[in-house]
Amino acid sequence: MSPFPFGVTTGYPGMTIAYLPGPSDDVPLYEPWAGEPEVLAEAAAAGRRAAAWIRSLPGPPAPSPVGTWLAVTLPDVVESAMGSLDPAQCDRMGPDGRLIEGDAGVDAGTTSTLAIVPCVLSEAGWLTAHQHLRLMAVASVITGIARLLADDPGTAILHGQVWSGCAPPSTTRPARMLPDWPQNANTRSNIWMDRFPFPDDLISAQQQWHTTYRALAAPRLRHATELRRHLLALSVRIHWHPFWSTPTGRTPAARVELRQRTAADQTRVAA
């Protein structure tokens, strides 16, 4: 019989290393949520649509690394990320009791690529401000959906959060997935204000973004380069604001509400 029945000797008298047992074979397998295959199929289709649109954008007047990145790298990443979403790769506890942070199938390299979109667009002056906005929205929606699935796949799938980020604008959501929102606009606005307590500096940055964006649309524009740089600087400030790391701010609905609320404020001021 071995003198070290519970481990192996370390080379020091009276000391052994005891190995912990491996994970049990009866760990329950991941069970898909109701409607999960349809949601993931729509997400993959949305990724293909977004990638096709990006590839259709005009190129620079002369070949450049930024033009190649936007025409090849970015659409490939968008299509791959939306096609590889995996709710099973969510936040979970490991065999040792430690939290394993999930990525919902979107790895760190893909997330990093999407995060630099605002910076790359600062060198894509041949694209319009509206195209810049849509490209940043695509990157933001993908990272938001992945985070939603990693944090709480059941809520993201069953409550239509993934679906609403993927479906074409003309598509009607299934009635069973529609929340019971109040019809009164003021009541609905108060609910959003209670749900999304945006910091003042974030609201101010988004208001400045709307003002700068409208200025870029003016005819016979002067100082266009400065305005584009200011718009992109605001976009980066908004995108990386700490509020989006809070539980309330992680949902794509929060970003949508911030844009809608500040745009409405700008409209009232203009009136």
pLDDT in tens, 67-87: 999 999 999 999 999 999 999
User: Under 8 Å CB-to-CB from 30, ≥6 apart: which residues?
Assistant: 87, 88
pLDDT above 70: residue 183: no
Q: How confident is the model at residue 165 (pLDDT cuts 50, 70, 90)?
A: low
Percentage of residues in the chain with pLDDT exceeding 90?
Answer: 24
Provide the pairing of β-strand 8-9 with 92-93: unpaired
pLDDT bin (cut points 50, 70, 90) of residue 257 is confident
In this predicted structure, what is the pLDDT of residue 69?
94
Tell me the residue type at 90: C
Top-confidence residue, 239 or 46: 46
Q: How far apart are CA 54 and CA 135, in angstroms?
A: 8
For residue 266, the model assigns a pLDDT of 58
DSSP string for 97-144: SPEEPP-TT--HHHHHHHHTHHHHHTT-TTS-HHHHHHHHHHHHHHHH
Q: Scan for tokens 């929060």, then name that residue.
A: 254
Give the integer Cα–Cα distance in Å for 182 and 172. Answer: 18
> Using CA atoms, how far apart are residues 71 and 58, in angstroms rounded to an integer?
9
The dihedral formed by the CA atoms of 218, 54, 178 and 151, expressed in degrees to the nearest 10: -110
pLDDT band at 267 (very low <50, low <70, confident <90, very high): low
* pLDDT band with cut points at 50, 70 and 90 for residue 188: very low
When the pLDDT of each residue in the chain is averaged and rounded to a whole number, the result is 76
State residue 247's pLDDT score. Answer: 81
CA angle 122, 128, 134 (to 5 degrees): 80
Report the percent of the chain where pLDDT is more than 70.
72
